[in-house]
Amino acid sequence: MDGFVKGANMEITVNPVEQRAVVVKLRGRLDLLVAAEVKQRLAQIVNEGFRLIVIDMSEVSFVDSSGLGALIGGLKVARLAGGDLRLASVTDQAQAMLALTTLNRVLKPYPNVTTALQAE
Amino acid sequence: MHWIERYYELSPAPFEGINQLHAALDAFWADAEVTPEVRIRFGTALAEVVANILQYAVVPSDAPIQLRLRCSPHRLEARLVDRGKAWQMPAELVTLPDMWEESGRGLAIARGFLDTLQYRRFGNVNCWRLVLLSKPKPA
């Protein structure tokens, strides 16, 4: 499941950390060029049985509204399966986007991956 | 802060156009002395408007999108000109949609980060003007 998104500036690395929890590390720009692919990967992860997805955002240099849409899509799929999607190590630009859109109410940013994995 | 004005051309093809926009912003920020917060607000808003043009106005065979970036002591300004379809901008397109919607936030985000977001149609040309005053708006 790891790899670069074809033709775009994004690398996705998927690391299962527990039986039902997975850390997805994104590197690059999360924008309209990759949003559909990222949303599809997140749905695939849920289909494989993972229920807690933590997205490590520390190396995401830029997020646009399409990227936010992919995260919302992933969150909906995870919640429908009885799980959750959490963001960790969110950069200042992504924090500004989440705050402006008030999506930080449902995509609550956690300071790091460990905290996101352990949160109730 | 000095007056700085730069002109760029962006491809109407999404992959090239978006990469060229980020390269243009990187080059512009190297010369313009603005705070990281201002860069985030202005750069994000500009990227949203360009993404809208690439998705809904132009097709890859169209003429390049013209971008002018201007930095003056009290304001940042961008002007975008394209020869794509006319844009109808109903109010709901600059209003944030429901929390669970996966699209429809782009122009609302741009407007939220800026002091002015203006669209006008001149003949067969679309013209967008984005302005951010140097003092950030209160949260």
What is the ipTM, given to two decimal places?
0.91
Tokens of B134: 């140097």
What span, in angstroms and rounded, lies between the C-alpha atoms of B107 and B130?
Answer: 11
Please answer yes or no on whether B109 and A31 come within 8 Å at the CB atom. Answer: no
Question: What distance in Å separates residue B32's CA from the closest CA in chain A?
Answer: 18
- The pTM (predicted TM-score) of the whole model is 0.93
Question: What distance in Å separates residue A102's CA from the closest CA in chain B?
Answer: 8
Please answer yes or no on whether B14 and A8 come within 8 Å at the CB atom. Answer: no
Place B87 in a pLDDT band, splitting at 50, 70 and 90: confident
- CB-CB contact of A12 with A25 (8 Å): yes
Tokens of B29: 């920020």
Q: What's the average model confidence in pLDDT over A79-92?
A: 98
Q: What's the average model confidence in pLDDT over B14-26?
A: 96
